[in-house]
Amino acid sequence: MKTMIVTGASGGIGRAVAETCLTKGWTVGLIARRQAALEEIATKHSEAVVLPADVTDAAAVEAAFAVFLDQAGRLDVLFNNAGIFTPSALIDEVSVEHWQQAVDVNLTSMFLAARAAFGQMRRQDPQGGRIINNGSVSAHVPREGSVTYTATKHGVTGLTRSISLDGRPFHIACGQIDIGNAETDMLRDLAQRAKAKGETPPPMMDVQLVADAVLAMAELPLNANVQFQTLMATQMPYIGRG
């Protein structure tokens, strides 16, 4: 049986990926702060392992991985997904607090989870595994007023490349999926607010498409890797943006 840990599993893309993989027979560790939401998933899927934790807390991440490995025995895939948006602003109007929040959640948490996964994959027998980082189209080109999100997502790309290089001797593959406007509760809320202002809502795609793409990456043999994949709503102003 294949095993996976998903961070940010309580909602949105993380939840969609976790539930899709559980449906396909994977054992999935669910990491997020909202324990009730994780337990709701587990009531529907017996192979779900609830791991409430703050992904920015190094000790909490290590403890969550330890609990999962005690139950599952090994780790085949990490979907490194947790992330936040801070309020949009020009750089001189961005608070240091919001900058630090973005770095902590969007970058440090990715490092902490990848660090724990890499160590396990390196030690386990048979050796190896796969780390899939959730980037963003903002890992390539920015939106206006997005310095915290854009800078941290560019950092995720560097993390992905470094893990890919360091993982080669240990059969550890690392890839990144860069997602643009998957329809989640957060994006639906943005669309409703745009409509209320008389603005055109952002183009969106079904979040299930993202879950299916992550599953396809996860199911590859370790001698093959999707290094970078961009999956986005077709009408997004991505090409030519920046």
Which residues are marked as active site?
149
Is 61 a member of any domain?
Answer: yes
Beta-carbon contacts of 166 under 8 Å, excluding residues fewer than 6 positions away, are: 118, 172
pLDDT digits (tens, 9 = 90+) for 119-152: 999 999 999 999 999 999 988 988 889 999 999 9
Is 98 a member of any domain?
Answer: yes
pLDDT digits (tens, 9 = 90+) for 176-234: 999 999 998 877 877 787 788 788 888 999 999 999 999 999 999 999 999 999 999 99
Q: List the CATH number of the domain containing 35.
A: 3.40.50.720
How many domains does the chain contain in total? 1
Residue 27 burial (10 A CB sphere; 0-12, 13-18, 19+): buried
pLDDT at 25: 97
**161-165: long-range contacts, CB 8 A cutoff, minimum separation 24:** 163/114, 163/118, 163/131, 164/225, 164/227
pTM of the model: 0.94
Is 86 a member of any domain?
Answer: yes
pLDDT at 241: 59
| 161 confidence band (pLDDT: 50, 70, 90) | very high
Kindly calculate the radius of gyration of the chain based on its CA atoms and give it in whole angstroms: 17
Is 110 a member of any domain?
Answer: yes
Give 189 or 78, the one with higher predicted confidence. Answer: 78
pLDDT at 55: 97
pLDDT digits (tens, 9 = 90+) for 5-64: 999 999 999 999 999 999 999 999 999 999 999 999 999 999 999 999 999 999 999 999
Is 242 a member of any domain?
Answer: no
Range of the domain at 151: 3-232
Is 73 a member of any domain?
Answer: yes
